[in-house]
Amino acid sequence: EIVLTQSPGTLSLSPGERATLSCRASQSVSSTHLAWYQQKPGQAPRFLIYGASSRATGIPDRFRGSGSGTDFTLTISRLEPEDFAVYYCQQSGSSSRTFGQGTKLEIK
Amino acid sequence: QVQLQESGPGLVKPSGTLSLTCAVSGVSISSSNWWSWVRQPPGRGLEWIGEVYYTGSANYNPSLKSRVTIAVDKSNNQFSLRLSSVTAADTAVYYCARLGYYYDSGTYYYSFDYWGQGTLVTVSS
């Protein structure tokens, strides 16, 4: 099973700042199988990024995914108030899909 | 517009069996996608439970495999989850989701692109 480790656990930033979230895999993951999701309290996860770097329909261009192999990054260039949430990376590269434990992005 | 809707009992007794159904609309469940269950214990992260293809082929989380069955019902365009021998540790919000794929320039991309709103299942006597 591929384990995804996200860091930091919590990130405290102010609106307008840049956020950098990390996702590290226990073994190499094909970029085509790496996705990111956003979740707000009481809501289902929202699909953000597929293929490590492609934005899903309707996702603002301030969200950018990058990385390959075992290291992936989600960058939010200028934080808006609605961006404060929990973010998860997820891999579908093996028949056992896995999620990272999440990074909570909170208002400083 | 693809929509998924979970249904089932919100309370299950310890040692009992949790049973949920996910109704799919806007797309045929016989399309080339895997249909999945994901759960989230209160205050914790997301855990993939397993998935089923329209042919009935299924994959499961190794940590839950001995207790899980996911099946597809093509006639009703829905799929189901059964989790046996439940304990309080199985208390969670259960989501159904589609593992969709995108095809671009010879490459397939996979991700959970549609989700149900989730249903809370509590295991308690």
DSSP B59-91: EE-TTTGGGEEEEEEGGGTEEEEEE-S--GGG-
A95/B46 Cβ within 8 A: no
- How many Cβ atoms from other residues are within 10 Å of residue B97's Cβ? 27
Closest CB to B113: pick one of A39, A56, A97: A56
Interacting residues of B104 by C-beta distance below 8 A, sequence separation 6+: none
Tokens of B54: 């329209």
CB burial class (10 A; 0-12, 13-18, 19+) of residue B33? buried
The per-residue pLDDT for range A12-69, each reduced to its tens digit, is 999 999 999 999 999 999 999 999 999 999 999 999 999 999 999 999 999 999 999 9
Chain A interface, best mutation among B38, B110, B120, by max A CB count within 10 A: B110
Instruction: Decide if pLDDT at B16 tops 80.
Output: yes
